């Protein structure tokens, strides 16, 4: 039990990621984003010192933390007895599966997921993996993000016909090459595809993909403006059991979306969404279909949002009860 000089719970992350903010907010616990710049060793050293100072100052009874970072996860496992807290890992996709295929990294992940008091995961597939290791999973998809209320669309949309936002970070699971190939055909059909993220990460320049408008890095408000005011949002992943952030953002904005045809995504995003494989011709077909049905898809989204909000509220209450926290104030 928490005492007057001991915090009940807090959430720690070493990266800026929407799920950390939305989950901490839903759980009603303070979020501490310990973000440092510079070389990796310097960042980890700074974040480690800041984490230890935070724990010494707050003396929490429960610590939630995102994995990745695996370094943060092992730090909290190592010092949980010293500071007397229960450690709950919020494992993103890379906190369950070694995305590089490294057997050593996978063993480290499996060890951490066995040792944490609980592991919060986003879907039943990952819960089964954790349970198979002997861990204790709790399932909670992402709460809907709070988007800025900006009514004015980004200036780049002013001359764009049939605008489609491709939510992309050029990560290894994203089939952006297939999207850019599909964009050639979509451009001939009058669509304008905007791609977020740092294209230089994939060695791309505007000249290489003249049929796509590369946004590069934009501030959060501008990005959310594209989500809100595009006709469609496109977000894809090659990974099973990965729930893409762009789809959550699209639902929060009331914008229809096209996402990958995976079991996890099809189970969660039941309204306002069109599913596709990643062949360029299939992506074209899905985008055209979603655009033609955009009004009907948009009309479905409020029902999905209401159900999702209620489901997350129920899952959050179960998490608080499981870790020994009192019910959140209404």
- Does residue 2 carry a pLDDT above 50? no
Could you tell me where the DSSP H helices lie in the chain? 18-27, 40-58, 70-83, 103-115, 124-133, 176-188, 220-229, 245-253, 263-268, 280-292, 294-322
Q: Tell me if 215 sits within 8 A of 316, measured CB to CB.
A: no
Cα 22 off chain centre by: 10
- Across residues 224-231, what is the average pLDDT? 95
- Across residues 215-239, what is the average pLDDT? 94
1 pLDDT tier (thresholds 50, 70, 90): very low
Residue recorded with tokens 């800041």? 50
pLDDT digits (tens, 9 = 90+) for 55-105: 999 999 999 999 999 999 999 999 999 999 999 999 999 999 999 999 999
Report pLDDT for 6.
Answer: 54
Could you tell me the domains of the chain? Answer: 9-140 (3.40.50.2000), 155-306 (3.40.50.2000)
Report pLDDT for 217.
Answer: 84
The mean-pLDDT minimum among 68-77, 144-153, 259-268, 273-282 falls in: 144-153
Name the pTM for this structure: 0.90
pLDDT digits (tens, 9 = 90+) for 92-139: 999 999 999 999 999 999 999 999 999 999 999 999 999 999 999 999
Mean pLDDT taken over the chain: 93
Other CB atoms within 10 A of residue 201 CB: 11
Six token digits for residue 302: 């409020």
Six token digits for residue 181: 């190939």
Report pLDDT for 330.
Answer: 61
Cα torsion through 135, 138, 139, 143, rounded to 10? -130
Report pLDDT for 269.
Answer: 97
Helix-helix angle 245-253:18-27, to 10 degrees: 60
- Secondary structure letter of residue 293 according to DSSP: T
Q: How far apart are CA 221 and CA 132, in angstroms?
A: 41
pLDDT digits (tens, 9 = 90+) for 231-266: 999 999 999 999 999 999 999 999 999 999 999 999
């Amino acid at each position: 039990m928490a005492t007057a000089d001991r915090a009940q719970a807090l959430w720690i992350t070493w990266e800026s990621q929407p799920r950390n903010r939305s989950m901490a907010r839903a759980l009603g616990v303070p979020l501490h984003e310990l973000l440092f710049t510079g070389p990796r060793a310097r960042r980890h050293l700074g974040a480690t010192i800041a984490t230890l100072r935070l724990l010494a100052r707050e003396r929490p009874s429960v610590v939630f933390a995102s994995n990745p970072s695996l370094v943060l996860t092992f730090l909290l496992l190592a010092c949980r007895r010293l500071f007397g807290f229960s450690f709950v890992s919020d494992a993103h996709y890379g906190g369950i599966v070694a995305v590089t295929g490294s057997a050593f990294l996978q063993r480290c992940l499996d060890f951490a997921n066995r040792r944490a008091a609980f592991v919060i995961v986003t879907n039943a597939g990952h819960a089964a993996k954790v349970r198979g290791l002997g861990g204790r999973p709790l399932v909670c998809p992402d709460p809907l993000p709070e988007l800025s209320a900006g009514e004015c669309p980004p200036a780049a949309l002013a001359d764009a016909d049939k605008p489609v936002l491709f939510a992309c970070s050029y990560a290894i699971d994203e089939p952006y090459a297939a999207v850019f190939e599909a964009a050639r055909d979509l451009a001939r059909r009058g669509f304008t595809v905007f791609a977020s993220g740092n294209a230089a990460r994939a060695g791309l320049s505007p000249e290489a993909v003249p049929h796509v408008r590369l946004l590069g890095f934009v501030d959060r408000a501008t990005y959310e403006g594209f989500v809100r005011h595009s006709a469609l949002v496109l977000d894809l992943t090659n990974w099973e059991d990965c729930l893409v952030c762009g789809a959550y953002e699209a639902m929060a904005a009331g914008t229809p979306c096209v996402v990958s045809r995976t079991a996890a995504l099809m189970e969660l995003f039941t309204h306002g969404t069109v599913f596709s494989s990643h062949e360029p011709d299939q992506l074209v077909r899905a985008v055209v279909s979603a655009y033609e049905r955009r009004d009907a898809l948009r009309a479905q989204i409020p029902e999905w949002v209401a159900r999702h909000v209620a489901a997350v509220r129920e899952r959050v209450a179960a998490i608080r009860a499981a870790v020994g926290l009192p019910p959140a104030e209404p």
